[in-house]
Structure 1
Amino acid sequence: MKPATLAFDVYGTLINPLAMAAPLAEIAGDKAGALAKLWRETQLAYSFRRAAMGAYAPFSQVTEEALDYALDAIGIQATSAEKAALLAQYTRLPAFDEVPEALAALAKIGHKMHAFSNGTLEDIGTLMDTAGLSTFLGDPVSVAGVQSFKPDPRVYALFEEKTAAEARSVWLLSSNPFDIIGAGQAGWNTIWVQRSPEIPFDPWGKRPTHIVSDLSEVAALIG
């Protein structure tokens, strides 16, 4: 296969948002895992709603609003300082264990690789630098450029514009089925990273081109 343009979703694909359970444990105790999960689910739900309403706000604001909801829903009290510390930690989340080696293998093949995220360019840059992934990736692409969120078709067109890539040469790698379906609708090749065997793919929309359990399988698959 000729070198391609690879678009890596960030949250849930390169970076583990549920790792927030560790810092959340300081204020939530044994509810930390549930709180981290609800925070992430609400963050996505709010992004979908804002995209549908045309009521864009930076993803960092969406993340803060989702944290406020999750804390209230689970009944956890947090001070302003504690919330600020949690939001700062969200920009320093770790990569999944296999990611650095997987990106290094893909870089050796010559694929052009970019982080492609709902996050702001600043937050994406901080995440990639902290996780040690920036060296493998080109300039990140943020959906903020079209004031919307995935899977709005405009975000996939924006990626093509920013990277000068044709749809048929782009591969999206994402753990999020909605993102895979959106990219497939845009004419992209897709690889669904099914990080848990218990998570099924959505029963509608275009199926992923390939399914992997983590990114360590990708180099052999499209190398």
Structure 2
Amino acid sequence: MSVAHAAPRPLRAVLFDAFPIFDPRPIAAEAERLFPGRGAELMLVWRTRQFEYAWLRQLSGSYADFAVTTNDSLIYALRALGLTLDSAKRDALVDLYAHLRPWPDVRASLTALRAAGLRLAILSNLSPAMLQNGVGESNLSAFFEHVLSTDRIQRYKPDPAAYALGTDALGLPRDEILFAAFAGWDAAGAKRFGYPTYWINRTNAPLEELGVQPDRTGSDLAGLVAFATRHRS
């Protein structure tokens, strides 16, 4: 699906959320292995509370990083569904976020973007350790100038201050940075901040009703590469 607005100025960089790069499906697969037939149900409650806890803690002035909110929301989800998991297995499930691997199209796409002269960075709500482990263990460090966690300022996306970490690090105006979002809410937040935005909708999710739309939407990185290289400076 394409949505109607082209990037207004030539692009000089692409700023990725973590999940267009890293495949989170192994987490769901492990949840299903632990609780056959109930893994999807656990993931739905867990992921919903995960973001709610992150944003509620920020709003209430009791910020905790993504690792903490992920663990706390898993405890809640297990309790809500009447499921039991000992602390070691629960820690191992949460730790999968620190050991994710790239989607199959990532390395070739990053190579193409770099060859086109575009600067690359990551901006994610994941904790610094989760991001550094993922990038390092996947041998992707050479592609990215910056790997930015919003934990640096203790503000989660879609807070505008979180998106501003990208402009500050890259030293570019926001309309020269293409933001690559995985979640619809993140695409909306980035667009509202002022980034040209490409929504990599790998899960075929419906468009969020948040008053703004991404510039383009695609199911993988191929469309993003085409869009970014076409509009590069």
Matched, 1:216 2:222: yes
**Map of 2:155 onto structure 1:** 148
Counting helix residues as a fraction of each chain, which structure ranks higher?
Answer: 1
Q: How many pairs are equivalent?
A: 221
Aligned to 1:29, the other structure's residue is in SS state coil
Q: Which of residues 4, 8, 23 is equivalent to 2:16?
A: 8
Q: Whole-Å Cα distance in 2 between the matches of residues 168 and 68 of structure 1?
A: 40
Gapped regions of structure 1 (runs ≥ 5):
none
Task: Assess, with a 3 A threshold, how the Cα gap between structure 1 residues 3 and 185 changes in structure 2: closer, same or farther.
Answer: closer
Give the partner amino acid of 1:58: D
Matched, 1:206 2:212: yes
Matched, 1:55 2:62: yes
Give the partner amino acid of 1:202: E
Aligned to 1:188, the other structure's residue is in SS state coil
Give the partner amino acid of 2:17: D
Q: Is the 8 A contact 1:5 1:171 kept in 2?
A: yes
**Map of 2:188 onto structure 1:** 181
Scaled by the length of structure 1, the TM-score of the pair is: 0.90
Task: Assess, with a 3 A threshold, how the Cα gap between structure 1 residues 74 and 98 changes in structure 2: closer, same or farther.
Answer: farther
Give the partner amino acid of 1:4: R
Matched, 1:162 2:193: no
Scaled by the length of structure 2, the TM-score of the pair is: 0.87
Give the partner amino acid of 1:106: L
Aligned to 1:154, the other structure's residue is in SS state helix
Higher deviation after alignment, 90-99 or 149-158: 90-99
Q: Is the 8 A contact 1:15 1:95 kept in 2?
A: yes
**Map of 2:94 onto structure 1:** 87
Percent sequence identity over aligned pairs: 28
